[in-house]
């Protein structure tokens, strides 16, 4: 990741617009703070694409667009990189952000950045209208940078997914794992499913009932996973519940959108999470005071 960061910093010095792709269901948790640091250092404008907006809660997405719209140098748009009509807007949006490249004398140079598995390669392939970047539902599919011409006056550089060395907030790690930005070898899926179930109980209990036919009153996260195991017949030899299989069912239903349009964070919930972490980390007042 250090090598990828250094290469990204070097390339950013030669581009006009940074296209940062984030997951619309967790826009801040899926935004590598290092990207903003690099942008600020080079004073590069950013087109922040909230990808997978078709899977996210529309109300939460509107709140995020308003949140990002207040940040200097940032233009935020919600879309799905799998929709041709959405992708067709991206080059024009970049052109508007960098009007000094509109005379055609020099190409508009764009750079796609983001963490693993948010849709960078899908976006690049769609913009170029041909498969030039490997796509897969696994983190870190793209291994190296590649730059290609997009028409006669635009160039597009794709970069490997950049994760940061240490995730500051535990909730971010769980959101990233639930959305498959972190590989399965790095997490315990039952723990991640318990976290996801807690979020669903708090914000989308009706979607759990609609999908699995369970009454959510009085349940907590682990109890939801148990209920899914019972409803879907997830058992192990001897008749016990296969909670690992049930956890995977819940996670896959969320990731695919089968559960419905769900956002794991909003600007308000994120502010509350950060405040709670900071309060918990604050030193206890001296008893003598």
Give the rounded percent of residues in the chain with a pLDDT score beyond 70: 91
**What pLDDT, on the 0 to 100 scale, is given for residue 7?**
82
**What pLDDT, on the 0 to 100 scale, is given for residue 287?**
53
Flag whether pLDDT at 136 surpasses 70: no
Mean pLDDT to the nearest integer, 139-147: 60
Flag whether pLDDT at 243 surpasses 80: yes
**What pLDDT, on the 0 to 100 scale, is given for residue 143?**
52
Distances (CA, A) of 227 to 34, 119, 213, 230, 249: 40, 32, 9, 5, 12
Flag whether pLDDT at 288 surpasses 80: no
Q: Quick: pLDDT tens for 151-203.
A: 778 899 988 878 887 888 999 999 999 999 887 666 789 999 999 999 999 99
Distances (CA, A) of 245 to 38, 153, 287: 41, 50, 49
Mean pLDDT to the nearest integer, 13-34: 95
Query: At a CB cut-off of 8 Å and minimum separation 6, what does 138 contact?
Result: 117, 180, 183
Give the start-to-end residue ranges of the domains of the chain. 2-158, 170-281
Instruction: Mean pLDDT check: name the lowest of 2-6, 193-197, 205-209, 210-214.
Output: 2-6
**What pLDDT, on the 0 to 100 scale, is given for residue 214?**
96
The token duo for 287 is: 């008893």
Mean predicted lDDT score pLDDT of the chain: 89
What sections of the chain are H helices per DSSP?
A: 2-12, 33-42, 58-69, 84-87, 90-97, 120-128, 170-178, 189-203, 205-212, 221-231, 243-256, 267-281
**What pLDDT, on the 0 to 100 scale, is given for residue 153?**
85
Q: In whole angstroms, what is the distance from residue 60 CA to residue 29 CA?
A: 14
Flag whether pLDDT at 140 surpasses 50: no
**What pLDDT, on the 0 to 100 scale, is given for residue 93?**
95
**What pLDDT, on the 0 to 100 scale, is given for residue 184?**
65
**What pLDDT, on the 0 to 100 scale, is given for residue 171?**
93
Flag whether pLDDT at 116 surpasses 70: yes
**What pLDDT, on the 0 to 100 scale, is given for residue 83?**
95
Mean pLDDT to the nearest integer, 273-286: 86
Mean pLDDT to the nearest integer, 274-285: 87
Fold agreement between 2-158 and 170-281: no
CATH number 3.40.50.720 is the correct assignment for the domain at 2-158: no
Task: Tell me which DSSP letter residue 100 carries.
Answer: G
Backbone angles phi, psi at 61, to 5 degrees: -65, -40
**What pLDDT, on the 0 to 100 scale, is given for residue 139?**
47
First to last CA, the chain: 46
Report residue 3's pLDDT band, with 50, 70 and 90 as the boundaries.
Answer: confident
Q: In whole angstroms, what is the distance from residue 223 CA to residue 221 CA?
A: 5
Supply the CATH classification number for the domain 170-281. Answer: 1.10.1580.10
């Amino acid at each position: 990741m250090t090598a990828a960061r250094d290469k990204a910093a070097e390339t950013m010095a030669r581009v006009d617009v940074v296209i940062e792709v984030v997951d619309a269901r967790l826009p801040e948790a899926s935004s590598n703070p290092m990207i903003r640091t690099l942008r600020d250092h080079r004073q590069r404008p950013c087109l922040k694409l909230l990808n997978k907006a078709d899977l996210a809660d529309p109300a939460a997405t509107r709140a995020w667009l308003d949140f990002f719209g207040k940040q200097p140098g940032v233009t935020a748009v919600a879309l799905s990189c799998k929709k041709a009509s959405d992708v067709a807007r991206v080059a024009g949006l970049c052109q508007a952000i960098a009007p000094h490249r509109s005379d055609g004398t020099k190409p508009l140079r764009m750079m796609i950045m983001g963490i693993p598995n948010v849709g960078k390669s899908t976006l690049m392939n769609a913009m170029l209208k041909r498969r030039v970047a490997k796509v897969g539902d696994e983190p870190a599919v793209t291994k190296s940078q590649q730059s290609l011409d997009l028409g006669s006056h635009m160039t597009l550089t794709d970069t490997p997914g950049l994760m940061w060395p240490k995730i500051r907030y535990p909730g971010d790690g769980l959101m990233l794992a639930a959305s498959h930005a972190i590989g399965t070898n790095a997490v315990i899926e039952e723990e991640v499913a318990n976290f996801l179930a807690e979020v669903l109980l708090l914000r989308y209990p009706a979607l759990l009932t609609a999908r699995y036919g369970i009454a959510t009153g009085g349940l907590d996260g682990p109890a939801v996973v148990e209920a899914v195991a019972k409803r879907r017949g997830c058992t192990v030899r001897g008749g016990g519940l296969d909670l690992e299989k049930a956890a995977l069912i819940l996670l896959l239903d969320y990731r695919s959108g089968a559960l419905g349009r769900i956002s794991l964070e909003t600007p308000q919930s994120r502010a509350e999470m950060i405040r709670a972490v900071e309060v918990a980390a604050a030193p206890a007042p001296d008893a003598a005071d």
